Amino acid sequence: MAQPSMAQGTRKQLKTANKFFDQENYRAAIPYYEQVLAKDPNNALALFRAGISYMSFDKEKASDYIYKAQKLKPKVSKDVEYWLGRVDHLNYNFDEAIAHFQAYNATLKKKDTRKAQLAQLIQHAKNAKIQFNSPKDIFVKNLGPTVNTSYSEHSPVISADDKVLLFTSRSGEARGADPNNTTPSGKQKVAADGEYYEDIYESKRLGEDEWEKPRSLSGALNGKGHDASIQVFDNDTKLLMYRNDENGDIFYSEKTGADWSEPKKLNGNINSKAFESDAYITPDGLTIYFSTSKYSEDNTLDIYYATRQPGGDWGPAKSIGNQINTKYDDDSPYISRDGKTMYFASRGHNTMGGYDIFKSSWDEAARAWGRPENMGYPVNTPDDDTYYRLSPDGSYAYLSSYRIGGYGEKDIYTINYIKNVNIKGKVFSSRDSTTVIPGVELVFNGQTASKEVISFRDVTKPDSGNYQVNVLSGRSYQVALSKDGKNITTEEFAVPVVTNDSTTITKNFYIPYVDTTSLAGVNMKPIYFDTDKYNLRPESVKQLNNVAGIMKSNPGLNISIEGHCDSRNTDEYNMVLGQNRANSAFNYLKKNGVGDTRMVTVSYGERRPAAPNDSPENMQLNRRVEFKPILKEGQTINDVMTAPGGGASTNTTTTGTTTTTTGTSTRTTAPLQPGKTKAKTADGTKVKTKVDEDSDKVKVKTKGADDSKTKTTTKNGELDGKAKDAAGDKTKVKTKTE
């Protein structure tokens, strides 16, 4: 007995649900379909129609329901392939959507008028795929549950000081909870689609992302049907608004104290018996752009404009032109403050589906608006995106959109262009977390939203160990840290979204690195040069005297003298300049008692910068000569640093950590003698040296870890050098060393 009664109840609920469904009152239909599915979860028809009903409220659930219905009953509807295409399109499954539309198209007769619509839907899916795969670096943020509800919110209007937001909502909060009654003014609480009529609300900003509870302005701006906000103008003293009068007209209201006056209709050059939906008055008050169906053959919206006449009212309307207007709806015009850019919503052009936001630039020479450009994803989505409005300073925008992740139906969002953020910090040794490591190269590798590779680089400064990079925010970076051409570690660093130009984030890195070869601990610091010069500065002479003293005190120490440049000139020129700088240091040390067989010179030109060549200060850091020890396999700097005449090495400090060594080092390196030697520098470069019997000819060959090579021959005061970098580019150097 219970089962027939349950079946009867299910049929009644399904009948009620279908009644609302046929009226396109989908919000009312859903609860009845859910009641049916609670008792009969495999009811294919209820699943199918519930899925269609959910498309404006929960796109993912809509997809689940329609697909399940088709699996249970492949021919649940003759239009099932069409709806599968629609729901796949809304859920970003563009290839699947195209396949479903094509399958549905194959079931239609040759002259079926729906074929044109399907062709458009297929093109929308193709457009959407292109836009989705080439996203913009834009941050889209929901305005939050204080403003947005499970009903539709749209038409954002912001005050000149960016502190008051007017918007339109169908939440019905101002009308009470009973949709069966009318308001005191006689206005029905629900429209034909079963939803509450649109009303205008006001909310005040409490913080950057915080708004006070909205208050309804329906008391002053209450018509018989829909009322919608459009624009505040004349220093926020006037409100342009839409009212559902004569199919839809444009009105204006004036501020009276804290409220608004009774709205008045714009003249007959703007309004007609057709549908006028939206408008925008330019800041100078002389031109109005508006959308109307008056002039189209199929009642679609086009954008027109009118200018203010000497008497103060609006003159005859003129079309904005076919460059903007299409055979589909073109709506919601908005002009930037400088008058050079128009934003509008359109169902035509190369939309991703539904309305998309487009922009057009004013062509001064042609005196016309240029070809519209789709604002791209994620400003636009496969569903409707409308009412794009810039903030007062133009730094971000407001938008109304149906999109996944909203509160239900259409919500209001902000659109912010993602900005660069300044990342700065130091690189420390992880052994003690306090010792900074200079000369560490940091490369931040990431991607733009469209998957293009981006890379940002800096090197920790010699004096402070500081680095600084300016990177695009809102993504994760793989940060590669290396020193002397050798990778030490790679870390991932997530940079949050930044929408202003002045944010700085401090990020320190701690790396497993101890510098066992650096001469910094024995005070062999780099020397620096003026632009395009290789003559020694007074402070360089002082440092070279110090280097000469260290070399004389440590006869086991041999060094590589390495010349570097900034990037002001060509690579070939800089290789010669770098060699000349190295030669200047070499010659000075030789004249001050350092044996020339204990020194080799190398030029790297601009190829190994200590800092990016992006400022005068950084370029100065690159115009330098560095001193590197030449070590045999297995040696450390401690092995070659000995006291005069013998060998006690005590209390030796090396960069990266502090090591105290007590006792006698038994390993020393003799000065270069006639014959052949092999050695390896701190950065992995292999050095082969050949000295003739009378030491008047020295050949030095180097091979870097990156496969770069040099060959230098010094004889009778002349240097002849050849170099090949990692890319295979060759350079020749010939100069005098004395």
Percent of the chain at pLDDT exceeding 90: 62
* Residue at token pair 């003129």: 318
Indicate the pLDDT class of residue 179, thresholds 50, 70 and 90.
Answer: very low
Neighbouring CB atoms inside 10 A of 155's CB total 25
| CATH 2.120.10.30 residue ranges for the chain | 138-177+193-417
Please enumerate in sequence order all residues whose Cβ is within 8 A of that of 143, keeping only pairs 6 or more positions apart, or say none.
211, 411, 412, 413, 414
Q: Is the pLDDT of residue 344 over 50?
A: yes
What percent helix, strand, coil does the chain show, rounded to 5? 20, 35, 45
* Whole-angstrom distance, CA of residue 249 vs CA of residue 97: 37
Indicate the pLDDT class of residue 420, thresholds 50, 70 and 90.
Answer: very high
Neighbouring CB atoms inside 10 A of 106's CB total 8
Q: Strands across the sheet with 138-142, in order? A: 138-142, 411-417, 396-401, 385-390
Question: If you average pLDDT over every residue of the chain, what do you get?
Answer: 85
Q: Is the pLDDT of residue 352 over 80?
A: yes
* Whole-angstrom distance, CA of residue 738 vs CA of residue 735: 9
* Whole-angstrom distance, CA of residue 290 vs CA of residue 392: 21
Question: What would the DSSP string read from start to end of 681-697?
Answer: ETTS-EEEEEE-TTSSE
Mean of pLDDT values over 315-343:
95
Q: Is the pLDDT of residue 673 over 70?
A: no
Q: What is the dihedral of CA 666, 671, 674, 677, to 10 degrees?
A: 60
**Considering the domain 527-637, what is its CATH architecture?**
2-Layer Sandwich (3.30)
Q: Is the pLDDT of residue 145 over 70?
A: yes
- Token pair for residue 4? 């027939």
* Whole-angstrom distance, CA of residue 531 vs CA of residue 275: 70
Neighbouring CB atoms inside 10 A of 615's CB total 10
Domain 4-133 fold is 1.25.40
Give the sign of the dihedral formed by CA 53, CA 292, CA 142, CA 223.
negative
| CATH 1.25.40.10 residue ranges for the chain | 4-133
| CATH 3.30.1330.60 residue ranges for the chain | 527-637
- Token pair for residue 253? 């209201």
From 2.120.10.30, 3.40.50.970, 3.30.200.190, 3.90.1150.10, which CATH number describes the 138-177+193-417 domain?
2.120.10.30
Q: Is the pLDDT of residue 675 over 80?
A: no
* Residue at token pair 């008056």: 294
Please give the C-alpha separations between residue 91 and each of 85, 376, 530, 591, in angstroms, as whole numbers. Answer: 10, 17, 61, 78
- For 535-567, write each residue's pLDDT tens digit: 999 999 999 999 998 888 888 888 999 999 999
**Greatest CA separation found in the chain?**
120
Q: Are 201 and 172 in contact (CB under 8 A)?
A: no
> Looking at residue 441, what is its pLDDT?
93
Least confident of 14-28, 182-196, 621-635: 182-196
Number of continuous H segments (helices) and E segments (strands) in the chain: 12, 43
Q: Is the pLDDT of residue 178 over 60?
A: no
- For 238-251, write each residue's pLDDT tens digit: 999 999 888 899 99
- For 205-216, write each residue's pLDDT tens digit: 998 889 999 998
> Looking at residue 642, what is its pLDDT?
56
Mean of pLDDT values over 52-79:
94
**Considering the domain 421-511, what is its CATH architecture?**
Sandwich (2.60)
Give the sign of the dihedral formed by CA 712, CA 714, CA 715, CA 718.
positive
> Looking at residue 661, what is its pLDDT?
27
> Looking at residue 726, what is its pLDDT?
63
| CATH 2.60.40.1120 residue ranges for the chain | 421-511
